[in-house]
Chain A
């Protein structure tokens, strides 16, 4: 990376950290630490919600996902706008009226302390591990840039995020999210322009799109119903709806964001804007990945995008097999490029039969190219048992570093790091506030001062930072980060959502029934994950419906009408 890129990267990140810390230097009470004093206008709520979800994983892993798997991941987001509407109607007014600091406080008012502790505990486990993945993504970037082991850079990024979060809290996250989102959107927009400029002379944008389509990368919508298919319209709309409902309605990292709105109206508008903008934004990021794929049809890509692993292979005992893999890869790349050339020539001369033949040639050449890459991935697994051999998290990073112009590289890396800071710090704030409000304050020290709880929140931030860094050491075995983080969430979100749905709508169900139902449902989801091939998005549906059905059945069996109503007068 050139000096100018380092300067742009350092200047952008320094500005964000210093500005955020300066703006929030007088923060003293829990309300302002956790919920930014409930003072934000709707557009800041929207930016905050979007920036929290758009972690560095989004900008590193999603283009890589599209490079490997096309646009179909966009279906994952189809349930999100629907969830935003449902949350605006139901959850947002309830949380505002009850003036809760965390979502789990509500559960104790409605049920009992053990149900609150269970939901908070499930959240802490899930979010604590997921924060490890959030921290791992920028650590991958630093590892490649500095040629340091990823374990070291993970610790470095973790330290930076902990200091930033513990000194500024939620407001520091919020006040810089406008700047962060601007950097992120500018970085991705400029990246797309630069990528299109890398297409060979004579290849137009529409031809690039046509080549992507023939290569099977424009598979944005698939209406077939298949439980084992990870991404189709139905899993995205139904499973994605349950996942988004749980993520935005019960996950404190998001509840803390939209509760920071200064009124119900501001929180609602913020969520609705997210419902409008999220799907097109993800489509754009995926489309960037597809265009990277197209550029690599004309410019020879590396056989494996993780440079640390290829160096290890080239200098290790598997070097001869790796060299054969590289040679086969060069041949496959040439064959694919020639097939694409014939396809474009046939398309320009408007010969349908020749177009059809060239189309089949591209698909056949693509299959052989993928087979060579899979062979090299197997070599990576053999040479490094800690790696799963996949390189999708490195595709976009490698492309940016090797093919984009000076200046833009620094800006895009600044976008990656600012996304990492905003999401990781929001997650750590949520973990700390849940630990203190739902654990420490409730069960250990109920009569402390606000200053004491803020101090404990800072220590909890440090503690969760350590947990996240420890889990991040295993992230290289988990494949595509954007899938790993959503699989992890889906193991817990259904159960948590089910508890909240019972709390809101099954007024006759009491704490013991919902607690038992939640424990049984969580066990069932974990068993389904371990022993079936059902796509992870459906776990959100199964977990939620199981909690609702089991808790109602248990309550009916116990025969008591015992639910506590906490709905305030409006």
Chain B
């Protein structure tokens, strides 16, 4: 039987050190992008 590569303790639970899960952090990054696009868009329109 092939030995599995050992994982470091940080990876074992596949949980980030903050935020409930990686999915939450990913959604946070994407929401941040969406917010920036909206803000930039409003900024452009306000000073056109």
Query: Taking beta carbons and an 8 Å cutoff, which residues of A are in contact with B?
Result: 71, 74, 78, 81-82, 84-85, 88-89, 96-97, 99, 209-210, 212-214, 218-221, 223, 233, 262-266, 268-269, 272, 275-276, 279-280, 283, 568-570
Q: 26 A-B residue contacts at CB 8 Å?
A: A74-B40, A78-B33, A81-B33, A82-B33, A84-B29, A88-B26, A89-B26, A209-B47, A213-B46, A218-B47, A220-B43, A221-B37, A263-B11, A264-B10, A265-B10, A266-B10, A268-B16, A268-B22, A272-B25, A272-B26, A272-B29, A276-B29, A568-B4, A569-B5, A570-B4, A570-B7
Q: Within the assembled complex, what's the spacing in Å between the Cα atoms of A52 and B5? A: 30
Contact partner of B40 (CB less than 8 A), chosen from A97, A220, A268, is A220
Size of interface on B: residues with Cβ below 8 Å to A: 26
Excluding A89-B26, A276-B29, 20 further A-B contacts by CB distance (< 8 Å) are A71-B40, A74-B40, A81-B30, A81-B33, A96-B11, A218-B43, A218-B44, A220-B41, A221-B40, A233-B37, A263-B11, A264-B10, A264-B11, A272-B25, A275-B33, A276-B32, A280-B36, A568-B5, A569-B5, A570-B7
CB <8 Å contact, B4 and A262:
no
| Given A213-B48, A272-B29; A221-B8 close (CB under 8 Å) | no
Decide yes or no whether B2 CB sits under 8 A from chain A: yes
CB <8 Å contact, B44 and A221:
yes
Name the A residues within 8 Å of B46 (CB-CB): 213
Name the B residues within 8 Å of A71 (CB-CB): 40, 44
Name the B residues within 8 Å of A81 (CB-CB): 29-30, 32-33
Which of B7, B26, B40, B43 has the most C-beta atoms of chain A within 10 angstroms of its own C-beta? B40
Q: Within the assembled complex, what's the spacing in Å between the Cα atoms of A279 and B33? A: 8
| Given A212-B47, A218-B44; A265-B5 close (CB under 8 Å) | no
CB <8 Å contact, B16 and A269:
yes
Contact partner of A82 (CB less than 8 A), chosen from B11, B30, B47, is B30
Name the B residues within 8 Å of A89 (CB-CB): 22, 26
| Given A78-B37, A233-B37, A569-B2; A262-B22 close (CB under 8 Å) | no
Which residue from chain B places its CB closest to the CB of A96 in the assembled complex?
Answer: B11
Contact partner of B17 (CB less than 8 A), chosen from A264, A265, A568, is A265
Q: Within the assembled complex, what's the spacing in Å between the Cα atoms of A363 and B20? A: 52
Q: Within the assembled complex, what's the spacing in Å between the Cα atoms of A96 and B5? A: 10
Name the A residues within 8 Å of B22 (CB-CB): 88-89, 268
Name the B residues within 8 Å of A88 (CB-CB): 22, 26
Name the B residues within 8 Å of A264 (CB-CB): 8, 10-11
Name the A residues within 8 Å of B37 (CB-CB): 78, 221, 233
Q: Within the assembled complex, what's the spacing in Å between the Cα atoms of A569 and B1? A: 11
* Shortest beta-carbon contacts, A-B, top 5: A213-B47, A220-B40, A263-B10, A221-B41, A81-B33
CB <8 Å contact, A218 and B48:
yes
Instruction: Return A425 CB to nearest CB of chain B, in Å.
Output: 28
Name the B residues within 8 Å of A265 (CB-CB): 10-11, 16-17
Name the A residues within 8 Å of B5 (CB-CB): 97, 99, 568-569
Q: Within the assembled complex, what's the spacing in Å between the Cα atoms of A268 and B48? A: 39
Instruction: Return B13 CB to nearest CB of chain A, in Å.
Output: 9
Which residue from chain A places its CB closest to the CB of B38 in the assembled complex?
Answer: A221
Name the A residues within 8 Å of B28 (CB-CB): 276
Q: Within the assembled complex, what's the spacing in Å between the Cα atoms of A71 and B40? A: 10
CB <8 Å contact, A279 and B36:
yes
Q: Within the assembled complex, what's the spacing in Å between the Cα atoms of A275 and B31? A: 11
Q: Within the assembled complex, what's the spacing in Å between the Cα atoms of A214 and B46? A: 10
Which residue from chain B places its CB closest to the CB of A80 in the assembled complex?
Answer: B33
Instruction: Return B25 CB to nearest CB of chain A, in Å.
Output: 6
Q: Within the assembled complex, what's the spacing in Å between the Cα atoms of A266 and B25? A: 13
Name the A residues within 8 Å of B29 (CB-CB): 81, 84-85, 272, 275-276
Which residue from chain A places its CB closest to the CB of B31 in the assembled complex?
Answer: A81
Q: Within the assembled complex, what's the spacing in Å between the Cα atoms of A223 and B40? A: 12
Instruction: Return A447 CB to nearest CB of chain B, in Å.
Output: 25
Q: Within the assembled complex, what's the spacing in Å between the Cα atoms of A570 and B44? A: 47
Q: Within the assembled complex, what's the spacing in Å between the Cα atoms of A85 and B33? A: 12
Q: Within the assembled complex, what's the spacing in Å between the Cα atoms of A96 and B33? A: 27
Q: Within the assembled complex, what's the spacing in Å between the Cα atoms of A310 and B17? A: 56
Name the A residues within 8 Å of B43 (CB-CB): 218, 220
Q: Within the assembled complex, what's the spacing in Å between the Cα atoms of A292 and B37? A: 24
Name the B residues within 8 Å of A212 (CB-CB): 47
Which residue from chain B places its CB closest to the CB of A70 in the assembled complex?
Answer: B44
Name the A residues within 8 Å of B30 (CB-CB): 81-82, 85
CB <8 Å contact, B4 and A569:
yes
Instruction: Return A243 CB to nearest CB of chain B, in Å.
Output: 16
Which residue from chain A places its CB closest to the CB of B25 in the assembled complex?
Answer: A272
Instruction: Return A393 CB to nearest CB of chain B, in Å.
Output: 25
Name the B residues within 8 Å of A97 (CB-CB): 5
Which residue from chain A places its CB closest to the CB of B33 in the assembled complex?
Answer: A81
Instruction: Return A294 CB to nearest CB of chain B, in Å.
Output: 12
Q: Within the assembled complex, what's the spacing in Å between the Cα atoms of A223 and B38? A: 11
Instruction: Return B48 CB to nearest CB of chain A, in Å.
Output: 6
Instruction: Return B22 CB to nearest CB of chain A, in Å.
Output: 7
Which residue from chain A places its CB closest to the CB of B45 in the assembled complex?
Answer: A221
Instruction: Return B16 CB to nearest CB of chain A, in Å.
Output: 6
Q: Within the assembled complex, what's the spacing in Å between the Cα atoms of A210 and B43? A: 11
Instruction: Return A484 CB to nearest CB of chain B, in Å.
Output: 25
Q: Within the assembled complex, what's the spacing in Å between the Cα atoms of A96 and B11? A: 11
Which of A78, A223, A262, A265 has the most C-beta atoms of chain B within 10 angstroms of its own C-beta? A265
Name the B residues within 8 Å of A276 (CB-CB): 28-29, 32
Name the A residues within 8 Å of B41 (CB-CB): 220-221, 223
